[in-house]
Amino acid sequence: MDVGTIIFLVVVVFVIGYAVLIYNNLVNLKHAVSQAWSNIDVLLKQRHDELPKLVETCKQYMKHERETLEQVMRARAAVATARDAHDVGGVGEAEGMLRLGLGNLFAVAEAYPDLKANESFQHLQTRITGLENAIADRREFYNASVNANNVRIDQLPDLVVARALNFKSAQLLEFAADQVADVNLTHLFQ
């Protein structure tokens, strides 16, 4: 073999090896996004299971607050529907509605001393608040994973491999500005 052929073969092996390395890194990022979403999904399911217990406990005390309880249950259903459809944007929107509903529910509960003193209510409130905090933490990790994935598939030379093998960008889990704003509680106490 002449030197030109050897150099050509070395370059081809190097290019193929580099493409395989890029592919493996992209697969790793794609699975990191899936794993991060699975972590959020587990917490959403746990909270989904706790919310009916909270609403049922509140129903016993809050006879006149039906709309607040229904708001929480509608938002819970919207989160479940979006989660089942793997609609990250829909989950973000429904999460905002659920946060608002829970904020209203906990604020209204302040007017019911017997409910606030109820051990089951206290436990559920603590559990749901803990799940909310865990979801926020996992959301941050998920969005970091999505960002790393999306940046890599948009940068050269990864872009070439990503497009050739149909890697897709993932969607960030975001909440609208009005959904993360503080809840206006004044109307609840008038």
Mean predicted confidence (pLDDT) in 51-67: 78
Q: Which residue has the higher pLDDT, 180 or 1?
A: 1
Hey, which CATH number is domain 3-189, 1.20.1440.20, 3.40.50.720, 2.40.50.100, 3.40.190.10? 1.20.1440.20
pLDDT of residue 187: 44
Helix 3-59 with 119-154: angle, nearest 10 deg: 160
Asked whether residue 52 carries a pLDDT value surpassing 80, the answer given is yes
| Cα–Cα nearest to 43, from 168, 105, 132, 140 | 132
The percent of residues above 70 in pLDDT, for the chain, comes to 91
Distance CA 152, CA 104 (A): 41
Q: Is the pTM of this model over 0.75?
A: no
Convert the pLDDT of each residue in 145-167 to its tens digit: 999 999 889 888 888 888 888 89
Q: Alpha carbon of 65 to those of 38, 95, 126, 145, 160: distances in Å?
A: 34, 21, 21, 40, 57
Is residue 97 predicted with pLDDT exceeding 70? Answer: yes
How many C-alpha atoms does 55 have within 13 Å on its Cβ side? Answer: 20
Q: Which tokens sit at 75?
A: 């938002």
